[in-house]
Structure 1
Amino acid sequence: MNTDRKQRERAILGQLLQGNLPGFLRRLVPVKLSYGRAGGKSLTATIFVMPEYLAIGSDSDFLRIPMNLHTATAVVDRFGFVLPTKKIVDAIYEQSTGHFTPQPLPAGPQMTSTEYYQTHDAMIDKQSQGRSFPLGALVSGHKKDVVITNRLRWRPGRIAIYGWHRGTGEPIQPLSTVHGAGYADYSHGIRLVAKMAMIEGRLQSIYDILHDSVLAKVLSDEGAIRVSPAYGNA
């Protein structure tokens, strides 16, 4: 990673840890998930997620900000959240009240540039204004998600990305760990999920749910995921 990118990551982390994020991101939105167990009784859970991707700024002026896994991990750890699973990303898209149309930019080394970050964010803003998405509504389809997955157990030092759903509900980006943990580009978004969830009427840690071979199926299509409280797969 070049020096400019390292400085950018430090600046992003510093701004977020100082609380420089829009107020509407602090109002979490419920998302319901289920898993059909043998015998016909479904396992159900409600999680609570940020309505938008993590951003820097205020309600009236903010920038959805990509970041690498190291920065995302530091934010998750400090804020007491967790990153989503692939199944959670799908559920968020299905239950969103606002669906963006993905807007890929030309591929190349410029994908990691601050200019591309700003250009893509302006495109999202224009689309949001055209569709009159209310601030704080659950929205998706405009970024790929950084996710947790068991693949990181076998490919340590990588970042896992998934999503960018089309209107059909199919993601442009299948689950991938091709990039190193220090990589981030304009298409990535960080969606924070509260670390406590309601499952079968009880409040329980998402970490505990994901570690349980039975309960994990409600939040993960991979089964149990060994993820540590400070993120990173155990």
Structure 2
Amino acid sequence: MEIMSLSRTHSKIFIGLATFFFVSCSGSLKLPKPADTSTSITGSEFYKQAVSYNWKERDSLFLESFQKGSVPDFFYRFERISISYQDSTGEKHQIQFYCSPDYLLIGTAEDWARVPVTPMAAEIIARQLNCILPTPKMVDHIYRQAKVKLEPVPMYAYRDSTITMWQHHLIIEGQRKNRQGLIAGIKKDLVQAPEQAYKGKTDRVAIYGWHRLNGSPIQPLYTGHINWYVDYSHGARLIYKRIRVDGKWMDVDELKRNPLLKNALID
């Protein structure tokens, strides 16, 4: 099934859901989970089914599974990232945005797995949850405030194969050792990039990050891959579009248009 037809087929599940959210006492933001859980697939089942799939088939299975609710509840509890920003007039602002605790994944609470996807698939899910992909600045802030930081594990053979994606997930889980909380340092992020970074090309994926334990990213901002290319090292983390600026809620698009605030989170 084609990616876009899947979006149309299942988008009704998400209509209106992300308009409502709950901010807990701990500061996390809880997004509503889709109500349709008539079918469920575990992380290991996903990879068994997708083992010989190409990128389009894998994206389609991911979208179908995600949109039917095959996602553990913890993914919908977005973590707060707080920063201080001084604008060009010297005024200081307190800004908070909310990010998914991990990268896009499929499965149940007992059996789930991270799934690298194309930016096309990631943006379908992001739009339906009233989210965006992060900017490199956001990725840096997330890494600094992550509770679980892991050393990157590069792999070199069959980088874009489904089997390598599964193996990399298992390696990360071996490193994590059941530690809980916002995790970082495990993937290169699919990101938003300034227009000039694409050098006039409209069919590219932007990636950035994969921070080492010393805080420096392995991957500088890069837009050289065609947008359907995805390998084991790619991950899509979601950012909720509603942010707080000095205690007041604001849409991230408003921040982009604000001449004093636009550089706080946007590259």
Instruction: Choose from 117, 133, 143 the match for 2:187.
Output: 143
Query: Is residue 55 of structure 2 the alignment partner of residue 11 of structure 1?
Result: no
In the superposition, relative to structure 1, how do residues 211 and 155 fare at CA in structure 2: closer, same or farther (>3 Å)? Answer: farther
Find the residue that maps to 1:186 and give its secondary structure. coil
Query: TM-score normalized by structure 1?
Result: 0.87
Q: Is the 8 A contact 2:80 2:97 kept in 1?
A: yes
Structure 1 counterpart of 2:172, which letter?
I
Q: Is the 8 A contact 1:44 1:218 kept in 2?
A: no
In the other structure, the counterpart of 1:50 is 100
Percent identity, aligned pairs only, is 32
- Report the CA distance between 1:40 and its aligned residue: 3.6
Range with greater deviation from structure 2 (38-47 or 85-94) = 38-47
In the superposition, relative to structure 1, how do residues 200 and 66 fare at CA in structure 2: closer, same or farther (>3 Å)? Answer: same
Higher relative contact order (CA 8 A, sep 6+): 1
Find the residue that maps to 2:125 and give its secondary structure. helix
Structure 1 counterpart of 2:233, which letter?
S
Structure 2 counterpart of 1:144, which letter?
K
- Structure 1 Cα separation of the partners of residues 81 and 222 of structure 2: 24
In the other structure, the counterpart of 2:176 is 128
In the other structure, the counterpart of 2:164 is 116
Q: 1:69-218 residue pairs with structure 2 within 5 A?
A: 69-106=119-156, 108=157, 110-129=158-177, 132-134=178-180, 137-150=181-194, 151-152=197-198, 154-218=200-264
Identify unmatched segments of 5+ residues in structure 2: 1-51
Identify unmatched segments of 5+ residues in structure 1: 223-234
In the other structure, the counterpart of 2:4 is none
- Report the CA distance between 1:153 and its aligned residue: 7.5
In the other structure, the counterpart of 1:232 is none
Structure 2 counterpart of 1:140, which letter?
A
Larger Rg: 2
Q: Is the 8 A contact 2:87 2:260 kept in 1?
A: no
- Structure 1 Cα separation of the partners of residues 238 and 199 of structure 2: 21
Query: TM-score normalized by structure 2?
Result: 0.76
Q: CA RMSD in A?
A: 1.7
